Amino acid sequence: MFFVYTLIVSFSSFLLKIIAFFSPKMKLFVEGRKVVFSTLKEKINPIDQTIWFHAASLGEYEQGLPVIEKIKEKYPTHKIIISFFSPSGYEVRKNNTMADVTVYLPLDTRKNAKEFLKLAHPDLVFFIKYEYWLNYLNELQAQKTPTYLISGIFREKQLFFKWYGGFYRKALETFTHFFVQNEDSKRLLEQLGKNNVTVSGDTRFDRVSAILEKDNTLSFISEFKNNHTTIVAGSSWPKDEDLLVDFINTNTNVIKFIIAPHNIKPTQIQQLKESIQKKVLLFSEKENKNLADYDVFIIDTIGILTKIYSYAEIAYVGGGFGNPGVHNLLEPATFGIPIVIGPNYSHFAEATDLVALGGCLMISNKEELNVAFHNLIQNEEIRNEKGQICSRFVQKNKGATVTIMKSI
């Protein structure tokens, strides 16, 4: 089976080079990997001490940030290497201030793994949440490099727990310790004979709770809000936007709306703008405008959504009508805001918990969205109550980083 795995990776490498001719995203994926080894040679000396963190994409990077920060404090003379698998992570955070070197992770061939680890020569390695690249893990084990999984989560449907997943289960033998999010993950690992497991919780709670200590001021949002009740829709997809636009166009309350789409391609942004029948402004067009005159503000840029949530009375988090489901709802939750989401959220423990607690409302169609929004707009007491549920939930679940650092 490992031979088949190696063939699949090699074939994928060939196939991606072809796809890159037609897909800008895949072109970034392929081209970015061509300079990994030269970048490591340039920025990492043979005598440097290093620590390597791997994140699949942007969400996992954000999830790992609290641990990265504490590791930098504990090992101030080590250089930090951060690798990404996905362009959506690397391209957004390639200039981050946490790492001395940020690169794509070369595809998981034995040759690439050996070369990457020879140049990076890490003293410690952290994989964030998931991604189990067999050649890298086997090489780390051969070199006796301490390797940790942080904020890990396991489900029965994963290949590890299938009768035919034996070759993949061997990847778990390479980890020094597993820091997992919940008891179910620990139980599943223990069924495989793994006792090097600690339920630490999810480091995302530490990251989002720390947001409250930062300056979240955005003067242009204050000007647009103009002391009106504001609904912020973050990471929206077209199916979310169909419902949101219907509500915006028919709503008679004096409400401000901010929409931060997941995809900010100009054509899609323009389509969204043209579908709204009220006064709409794009972030890219805000200069020299009286922002208070507008009803809807579309954020056609990235990197400021978290701060924007701090201005909301109500949040809508997108993705719940797609696969795998709803996006990050902990960021609005930390500000004590009631949250509305679509129906696909069962893969995300925090969404399931907040729906059960009542801080988050699930809707399946525009009629349910209208009812949810109207109730939250018109009843400040209910709005505050649900917002407090969200805030308490975040505060109650923080502390994973402390647990992890005590064991390293």
Cα distance between residue 31 and residue 105, in whole Å: 12
- Please tell me the predicted confidence (pLDDT) of residue 76: 97
- Please tell me the predicted confidence (pLDDT) of residue 10: 75
82 - beta bridge partners? 53, 102
- Please tell me the predicted confidence (pLDDT) of residue 3: 64
| 229 torsion bin: left (phi>0), alpha (psi -120 to 50), beta (else) | beta
Alpha helices in 20-57 (DSSP H): 24-33, 36-43
- Decide: 77 and 1 in contact? Cβ < 8 Å: no
* 3-class secondary structure, 390: helix
Closest CA to 173 of 155, 160, 159: 160
First-last CA distance in the chain: 34
Run means of pLDDT, 10 residues per run, the chain, 408 residues: 72 76 83 95 97 95 97 98 95 94 96 97 97 95 98 93 87 96 96 96 96 96 98 97 98 96 94 98 97 98 95 98 92 98 93 97 97 97 98 97 96
- Please tell me the predicted confidence (pLDDT) of residue 338: 98
pTM to 2 decimal places: 0.89
| Count of C-beta atoms within a 10 Å radius of residue 234 | 27
- Contacting residues for 62 by C-beta, under 8 A, at least 6 apart: 204, 207, 328
| Count of C-beta atoms within a 10 Å radius of residue 284 | 13
- Please tell me the predicted confidence (pLDDT) of residue 332: 98
Cα distance between residue 19 and residue 4, in whole Å: 22
